[in-house]
Amino acid sequence: MIRLSDIEKRFGDLTVLKGVTLTVAEGRVTALIGPSGGGKSTLLRCINLLEIPTAGTVRIGEEELAFHPASRPGWKDIQRLRGQTGMVFQNFQLFPHRTAVENVMEGLVTVQKWPAARARERAMALLDKVGMAHKADAWPATLSGGQQQRVAIARALAPSPRVLLCDEPTSALDPELSGEVVEVLGKLAEEGTTMVMATHDLRLASRIAHEVVFLEGGEVVETGPSRTLFTQPARERTKRFIATLTQQGQHGEGV
């Protein structure tokens, strides 16, 4: 379970997150939607402490950290919490000088000190899971965007994180390639992988998410079950935003 309590994030005089409180149950998928600049990606990065919250509390499983404007948590505490998460980035961020299988192995070998043979076995099993075992020895530059993102998903899953965080996982892909990634993430959701994803992709959010959180201006405007929020949103602002996503999807943009 993930519990965020009163998360605030400031960059100088700019307050990007304004007291966000959110709970994600084990085995559930939560989609963060909202206009650009609304705080979705910042909230994701606060969960795994790529951004340190200015104030509030982050709890993942049994690990919990409280944040205060006047102090910063220690590196060991940050690593302990971050170790509960796996992150999938918008632009893949694979190591260009490592093959697909080496990318998946890297964290296991260098951070967790696994023997190379064991790490390779784990990496190959995950590449097979995302339909990329046949490209294990390929360089990232030779892979399509959808293939690179599937390798990145395998890499994020390698250390068996408690939660998978996905930051706009399909936004850099055209509709056909994004379909590959939606299929893989859908399979993980069916298997009970806990996920939090920031996305503009209506197909991804409506197919995979159990719950949806609409963020704007660093605040939660509305939250609810996916089917309800996408078909019968309670707030007028949410209705307008869903309408723009639907319109984009009909024109093949952002889906």
> Each residue of 5-50: pLDDT tens digit?
999 999 999 999 999 999 999 999 999 999 989 999 999 999 999 9
> Each residue of 118-138: pLDDT tens digit?
999 999 999 999 999 999 999
The pLDDT score that the predictor gives to residue 250 is 57
Q: Does residue 248 surpass a pLDDT of 70?
A: no
pTM given for the model: 0.92
Take residue 71 and report the two structure tokens written for it: 């102090």
- In percent, the amount of the chain with pLDDT more than 70 equals 97
DSSP 89: -
Give the model's confidence band at 244: pLDDT under 50 very low, under 70 low, under 90 confident, else very high.
confident
Selected from 3.40.50.800, 3.40.50.300, 3.40.50.10890, 3.40.309.10, the CATH number assigned to the domain covering 1-84+163-170+189-255 reads 3.40.50.300
pLDDT mean over 153-159: 96
The pLDDT score that the predictor gives to residue 74 is 93
The pLDDT score that the predictor gives to residue 151 is 97
For residues 107 and 246, the model is more confident at 107
CA dihedral 7, 214, 86, 9 (to 10 degrees): -30
The pLDDT score that the predictor gives to residue 255 is 32
For residues 250 and 181, the model is more confident at 181
CB atoms near residue 136 (< 10 Å)? 17
* 140-175 residues labelled b (16+ CB within 10 A) or e (exposed): beebebbbbbbbbbbbbbbbebbbbbbbbbbebbee
> Each residue of 176-195: pLDDT tens digit?
888 899 999 999 999 999 99
Q: Does residue 199 surpass a pLDDT of 90?
A: yes
> Each residue of 60-95: pLDDT tens digit?
998 999 999 988 999 999 999 999 999 999 999 999
With a CB cutoff of 8 Å and minimum separation 6, the contacts of 69 are 10, 54, 55
Residue type, 101: V
Residues of the chain with CATH 3.40.50.300: 1-84+163-170+189-255
The pLDDT score that the predictor gives to residue 174 is 87
In this structure, are residues 151 and 104 in contact, taking their beta carbons and an 8 Å threshold?
A: yes
